[in-house]
């Protein structure tokens, strides 16, 4: 079997060498498509392969990756990002897979390990992703009567681990692509809408959130009509965040009373908590953060029912320990209550440090 490495890159000089060093002995050809680097990315790439191509960027990752794949000649295509690395143990696993891979296998999935748990757009430290693809797919007829073509790919779940070492936040780039699709088509596919909501909630700036408002307000009734309850709840959570940031409590109240919000998500509770925290009503804020951390499930950001909720609770109790109301108590009562509040704050800080997201089944 011959493996072709295909990559699309832009300004990846800080990480590209490490990625290529971990793959160069396994790949039979390396194809790198540059979408407009202004650093030494192309110079680094050219030290590893003669197959370095310029590609005019059109806010379309799929088109760029398809262009890279079109240049491959190997039996299988390995798709990598520049901030990925295979350590020596997993290099050996990939070499062994290359020797033993059956030609019937069309996709090989690998375990994606994101070292930075609180990465802006990642929820899990480990998840299974398709990484190796058969370049030319063979179709066969199936069923003894009313025969049809088998369209389901043969997928192999390997135990190869890819270390993902993200450098900074690429969300601003992603938002530009999302906004272009919305402007041109007016809608996002269900898959892209879910990803857009996650990036907005976890990494969106006030400007990004405000730009999304009209689109999300239009999308909510459409998804209700389609019966997409989870997407509706995710849209509601992001809209509550939008309304909180522009200090529109009436809009927050109205959307919080939506049928889909009857049982609130952890994200909804977090946003209500942040609203009351901003108003310096720390007791009410703590109630909502407690619900997020102990009574509700996350639907966009897994940390909203974990470390984010616990850290917010800790902050609330530290603020309460400094409140004028507390200082007005008799000295002995003040000292006891002050110590109790600081102890609770410390307990929640420890919970936040100890918390880890549940991993996706592998």
What does the pLDDT look like over 165-223, one tens digit per residue? 877 655 567 888 899 899 999 999 999 999 999 999 998 999 999 999 999 999 999 99
243 secondary structure, DSSP code: H
| pLDDT value at 361 more than 60 | no
Mean of the per-residue pLDDT values for the chain?
A: 91
pLDDT digits (tens, 9 = 90+) for 152-179: 899 999 999 999 887 765 556 788 889 9
Q: What is the pLDDT of residue 127?
A: 82
Contact of 242 with 209, CB cutoff 8 Å: yes
Q: What is the pLDDT of residue 144?
A: 66
Sequence length of the chain is 362
Distance CA 289, CA 269 (A): 6
- Map residue 139 onto helix, strand or coil: coil
Q: What is the pLDDT of residue 118?
A: 46
CA angle 283, 252, 173 (to 5 degrees): 105
Q: Domains in the chain, please, with CATH?
A: 3-164 (3.90.550.10), 171-256 (no CATH), 263-362 (no CATH)
pLDDT digits (tens, 9 = 90+) for 291-321: 999 999 999 998 999 999 999 999 999 999 9
Query: Which of 130-134, 298-302, 354-358 is most confident?
Result: 130-134
Distance CA 193, CA 215 (A): 11
Compute and round to an integer the Cα radius of gyration of the chain: 25
Q: What is the pTM of this model?
A: 0.76
Q: Which residues contact 130 (CB under 8 A, 6 or more apart)?
A: 107, 108, 109, 155
Q: Which secondary-structure segment (H or E) carries 309?
A: helix 307-321
């Amino acid at each position: 079997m011959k493996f072709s490495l295909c990559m699309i890159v832009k300004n990846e000089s800080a990480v590209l060498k490490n990625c290529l060093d971990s793959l160069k002995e396994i790949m039979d050809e390396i194809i790198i498509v540059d979408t407009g680097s202004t650093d030494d990315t192309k110079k680094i790439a050219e030290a590893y392969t003669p197959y370095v191509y310029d590609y005019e960027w059109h806010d379309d990752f799929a088109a760029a990756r398809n262009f890279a794949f079109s240049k491959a000649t190997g039996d299988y295509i390995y798709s990598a990002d520049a901030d990925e690395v295979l350590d020596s143990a997993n290099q050996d696993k990939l070499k062994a897979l290359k020797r033993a891979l059956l030609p019937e296998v069309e996709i090989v999935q690998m375990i994606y390990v994101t070292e930075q748990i609180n990465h802006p757009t990642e929820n899990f430290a480990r998840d299974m992703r398709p990484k190796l693809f058969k370049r030319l797919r063979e179709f066969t007829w199936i069923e003894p009567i009313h025969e049809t073509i088998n369209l389901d790919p043969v997928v192999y779940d390997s135990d190869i681990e890819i270390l993902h070492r993200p450098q900074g936040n690429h969300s601003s780039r992603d938002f530009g692509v999302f906004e272009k699709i919305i402007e041109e088509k007016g809608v996002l596919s269900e898959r892209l809408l879910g990803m857009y909501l996650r990036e907005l909630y976890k990494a969106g700036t006030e400007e990004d959130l405000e730009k999304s408002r009209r689109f999300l307000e239009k999308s909510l009734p459409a998804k209700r009509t389609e019966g997409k309850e989870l997407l509706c709840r995710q849209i509601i959570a992001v809209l509550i965040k939008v309304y909180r940031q522009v200090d529109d409590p009436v809009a927050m109240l109205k959307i919080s009373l939506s049928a889909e919000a009857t049982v609130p998500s952890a994200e909804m509770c977090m946003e209500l908590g942040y609203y009351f925290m901003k108003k310096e009503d720390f007791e009410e804020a703590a109630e909502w953060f407690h619900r997020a951390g102990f009574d509700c499930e996350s639907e966009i950001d897994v940390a909203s029912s974990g470390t984010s909720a616990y850290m917010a609770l800790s902050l609330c109790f530290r603020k309460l320990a400094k409140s004028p109301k507390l200082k007005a108590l008799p000295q002995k009562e003040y000292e006891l209550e002050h110590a109790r509040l600081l102890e609770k704050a410390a307990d929640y800080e420890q919970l936040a440090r100890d918390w880890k997201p549940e991993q996706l089944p592998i």
